[in-house]
Amino acid sequence: MLSRNGMPLLNRARGLAALVLATVFMACADEGTDDVAGQQAEAVTDNVDPARAKEDRIAESVTLFGRRISLHISDADNSGWATIEDGDPGDEAWLDRSFNLGATWHGRIGKTDIPKGGRSWRTKMFAVDDDRRGQLGALRACGKAGNRREIACTSWFRSKVKAGTPAEAAATTMMKLYDSNRKLWNTGGPTRIGWWNSANVLTALIDFEERTGTKTWHSVIEEVFNSNKGNDFTNDLMDDTAWWGLAWIRAYDVTRDGRYLDMARRDADHLWKHKDDTCGGGVWWRDDRKYKNAITNELFIKLAASLHNRMPGDQTYLARAKEIWEWFDASGMINGQNLINDGLGSDCRNNGDMVWTYNQGVILGGLVELNKATGDASLLARATQLADASTRDPHLSPDGVLREPCELFGGEGCGRDGGSFKGSYVRNLAELNRHLNGRPYTTYLKRQADTMMAKNRTSLDQYGVKWAGPFEKFDGATQHSALDALNAALP
């Protein structure tokens, strides 16, 4: 495997918070690099004497031939520097800086040598972020012993700027995947925009804003809306449209801007056009009208009830939400274990397909909204029954930690979509929890967040799909799900 600088990789740091691993290269890097991150170096405040630092926090240290190489961070300055200790004259230390989570970097920033007669030395201090260009950066410290070819590096780290809490740090990492041209998020790879996943990313960010009062990313709400509203956020998939409708409900909640509520209404109306009496009722999954499934109808219940609760005098959306809930509850998709299968077969019976986590979750938020609309306590009792089933199921929650069925498939088993499912589950479970006396699911929700942070987090606050670990890879879908879990654990 080759790094961006063309160096053969002997041992690459995984970056998990609990690990201290060296990244060792078997050849020296060139002084410069032509990557994008390197081209931004002149736009930040660099080459400052660390003696002027307001703080000194050692993010991580690695050893190489007895030398200790450390990355120092001053959170108050949003800057860092490298040191090398227990070395000999001629040993080198430097920083690498990346503006894309370590995918590429500008190397050997501030390279310095231990001077004659010395045993240790340090680089100058360099900025983590490029504020003028709005770029979020990361640093790592590297070093080598004299003329030896081996190089050791720490993991990548940020300062605590825009990362003061685990939730804020997860949100900041999430924004590294924001495509400033498309005004959506890359959720399936560095250049793959996730359409419905982006609706969930936006929802998670809005939830974070509402739960904490942090408005750092508030402007993206209008950016996403203005750049993508041409088709009213509709397409041939009704569940995609419903996810966006719910995102605009949340946008309305934090802005009180009627444009967002009106968009949510148009999305709900689009779904209603795809409702008929086949299998006794319900909304079709897509416009080819071949499949009626759980998630589409759960989303519609929540969207329609949410509209009613925000539209004084409405009766239309409430009637529609109640109709679909009554049909859904009797449809057979809720099985004998009070778990929800994926949909109905051609015979209009439960198809026995996968018990995905998001199908267990969205209905909980929908029933909360219906209860708010009607005051019917039986709706909360039913929601609690369903929530108890999924939180206690040994397959969905082994050892009390949520697990998506696709995690058992290995490798890329969860694909582009599966990484978003658990986020939707905990988001809706948290809505139910906050609506119930005694908040009975608080311990469960905190366990998800605590386990993720301990077993599924990198030094850059990236999260993968396996909350119980080990960390494998992350993308925008797994990251927003982690943010959802951290939001859900907030008081």
By the 8 A CB rule, do 115 and 102 touch?
Answer: no
**Residues 397 and 429 placed together within one structural domain of the fold:** yes
pLDDT-wise least confident of 9-13, 234-238, 241-245, 415-419: 9-13
The confidence score (pLDDT) of residue 34 equals 34
Q: Give percent of the chain with pLDDT exceeding 90.
A: 85
For residue 426, how far is the Cα from the chain centroid? 13
Q: What span, in angstroms and rounded, lies between the C-alpha atoms of 60 and 75?
A: 14
**278 and 326 co-located in one domain:** yes
- Does residue 33 surpass a pLDDT of 90? no
Mean pLDDT, rounded, for 256-281: 98
Same domain, 74 and 201: no
Q: Could you tell me if 97 and 109 are in contact, meaning their C-beta atoms sit under 8 angstroms apart? A: yes
In the chain, the percentage of residues whose pLDDT exceeds 70 is 90
pLDDT tens digit string along 38-69?
A: 333 344 589 999 999 999 999 999 999 999 99
Confirm whether 1 is domain-assigned: no
d(CA 51, CA 291): 66
* Mean pLDDT along residues 431-451: 98
pLDDT in tens, 83-109: 999 999 999 999 999 999 999 999 999
Q: What is the mean pLDDT of residues 114-125?
A: 97
Instruction: Indicate the SS3 state at residue 24.
Output: strand
Residue 208 token pair? 């974070």
Residue 126 token pair: 């360099």
Judgement on whether residues 129 and 177 belong to the same structural domain of the protein: no
Last residue of a domain, one of 153, 178, 195: 153
> What mean pLDDT, rounded, does the chain reach?
90
In whole angstroms, what is the distance from residue 472 CA to residue 350 CA? 34
Determine the length of the chain: 491
63 in a structural domain: yes
**pLDDT at position 44:** 59
The number of domains in the chain is: 2
Within-domain flag for 431: yes
Q: Which domain holds residue 313?
A: 166-488
> Among all chains, which residue has been given the structure tokens 């995918």?
103
Give the residue from 174, 169, 181, 230 showing the smallest Cα distance to 201.
174
Q: Are residues 334 and 281 in the same domain?
A: yes
Is 360 within the bounds of a domain?
yes
CATH of the domain at 400: 1.50.10.20
**Whether residue 79 is found in the same domain as residue 224:** no
pLDDT in tens, 182-230: 999 988 655 578 999 999 999 999 999 999 999 999 999 999 999 999 9
pLDDT of residue 20: 34
258 assigned to some structural domain? yes
**What would the mean pLDDT of 327-352 be, rounded to a whole number?**
98
Last residue of a domain, one of 90, 124, 153: 153
Given a cut of 70, whether residue 476 has pLDDT beyond it is yes
Same domain, 59 and 37: yes
pLDDT at 18: 33
Answer whether residue 455 shows pLDDT above 90: yes
- Name the band, by pLDDT with cuts 50, 70 and 90, for residue 13: very low
Of 110, 130, 153, the residue that ends a domain is 153
Tokens standing for residue 271:
């779904």
Predicted structure pTM score: 0.88
pLDDT confidence bin for 430, thresholds 50/70/90: very high
Whether 179 and 56 share a structural domain: no
SS3 344: strand
